[in-house]
């Protein structure tokens, strides 16, 4: 019984290690939002590193220390509903708002102008 249990433990440990090494649990490095004004490329790791892992700064419905929870579009829809801003307004408030705050503090920051984030496809 104990050899069998030990073998199972080793096997499970090996499989979990394999998943970790291959990045199966890793977050996407880049997220692309296909906005009507032009695609926006968001680099999650860069932002998480800059915020020193303070996920609540962007994910305002999460509790401190949580690493998963609701995504923006679960509450924020195309049009505002009740107290929830539209998805567009929520992104602009949080993303552009944060960049503007950092800029006012005279620190390096991300883009603040429309075409710096929104990139239209090249015309053919």
| 3-48 pLDDT tens trace | 776 666 555 555 555 444 444 444 568 889 888 889 999 998 899 8
Look at residue 1 and tell me if it is in a domain.
no
Structure tokens at 115: 């075409």
What integer pLDDT is reported at residue 19 of this predicted model? 47
Q: List the domain range (segments joined by +) for residue 40.
A: 27-119
What pLDDT is recorded for position 12? 57
Residue 16 maps to a domain: no
Which pLDDT score, from 0 to 100, does residue 4 have? 73
Query: What CA dihedral angle connects 109, 112, 113 and 118, to 10 degrees?
Result: 80
Q: Is the pLDDT of residue 99 over 60?
A: yes
Q: Report the mean per-residue pLDDT for the chain.
A: 82
Q: Which segments of the chain are extended strands (E)? A: 30-35, 38-43, 118-119
CATH of residue 57's domain is: 3.90.10.10
Question: What pLDDT, on a 0 to 100 scale, did the predictor assign at position 71?
Answer: 85
The values of phi and psi at residue 55, to 5°, are -60, -30
In a domain, 21, yes or no: no
Q: For residue range 52-84, what is the model confidence (pLDDT) as tens digits?
A: 888 888 888 888 888 788 888 899 999 999 999
């Amino acid at each position: 019984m104990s050899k069998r249990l030990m073998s199972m433990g080793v096997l499970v440990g090996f499989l979990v290690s394999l998943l970790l090494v291959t990045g199966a649990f890793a977050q996407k490095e880049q997220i692309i939002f296909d906005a009507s004004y032009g695609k926006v490329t968001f680099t999650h790791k860069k932002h998480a590193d800059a915020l020193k892992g303070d996920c609540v700064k962007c994910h305002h419905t999460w509790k401190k220390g949580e690493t998963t929870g609701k995504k923006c579009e679960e509450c924020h829809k195309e049009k505002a509903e009740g107290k929830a801003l539209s998805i567009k307004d929520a992104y602009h408030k949080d993303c552009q708002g944060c960049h503007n705050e950092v800029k006012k503090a005279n620190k390096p920051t991300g883009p603040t102008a429309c075409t710096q984030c929104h990139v239209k496809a090249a015309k053919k």
